[in-house]
Amino acid sequence: MSFKVTPKLKVCHSCHDKGTFLLSDVTGPWDDTLNPFGWQPDATSPQTQIKLQDVASSALTITSPSGTMYGPYDIYATLPNLDGTELTVDLSDILGSGDEASYEDGYWDFDWVVKGEYPDGVGGETPFHARCLKSELVLCDVQCCTDKFTADSDPSCGCSGKGNTKAIDAMLTLEAIQAADRCGQKEKAKKHLKNLQALCGNKCKNC
């Protein structure tokens, strides 16, 4: 008797609250047809898939856009679950600084590893190891910078004004980043982000 679960992670952030990520388990309940690699929801029913009670450890490792790795952190008390409970990740806690921390623009990578054992049906236990890799693209600073360029532009001057040209370049580059991300082209998105950060210079330092 062999089972497999494929954990799925949803990551959210808000540029209005630049110090936290919200993580939720969206693996969902097992269904033989619709979700064959979800969690078996009924802990007391005969084993047809891996159950939440079979999980022995749940760990999260976070890597910043600059490549700094944090963790692994024990998140067993919150994830996995089937009730939609969110895990709040506070960057100030992660960085270990007593001060309020904020996002760094770029891809934040979340590596979630779940381990445990499930009954093998003949009196023994079968170990399992499941992993979810999720990236979240943060664009808070360059979005703020683009907004400032746009606010400083003068529509009555057409496209030739220096301020208008910067605003147009910033808007197009920001859209290029988001388009590349939607298409799964991470390296291209990173390249466009680097160009926009260079265009912004010091304009986005205090967003």
C-alpha distance from residue 161 to each of 26, 61, 165, 204 (Å): 48, 46, 6, 21
CA–CA dist 30, 174 (Å, integer): 39
Q: Domain for residue 159, yes or no?
A: yes
Count structural domains, the chain.
2
Same domain, 90 and 105: yes
CA–CA dist 40, 64 (Å, integer): 33
Same domain, 82 and 134: yes
Instruction: Give pLDDT, residue 198.
Output: 94
Same domain, 169 and 84: no
Instruction: Give pLDDT, residue 90.
Output: 87
* Domain containing residue 194: 140-204
Same domain, 100 and 151: no
Q: Could you tell me the mean pLDDT of each successive run of 10 residues in the chain, 207 residues long?
A: 93 87 96 96 89 97 93 96 94 66 88 95 91 96 93 68 79 97 97 95 54
Instruction: Give pLDDT, residue 94.
Output: 74
Record the pTM.
Answer: 0.89
Same domain, 73 and 131: yes
Q: Domain for residue 63, yes or no?
A: yes
Instruction: Give pLDDT, residue 206.
Output: 46
Instruction: Give pLDDT, residue 43.
Output: 83
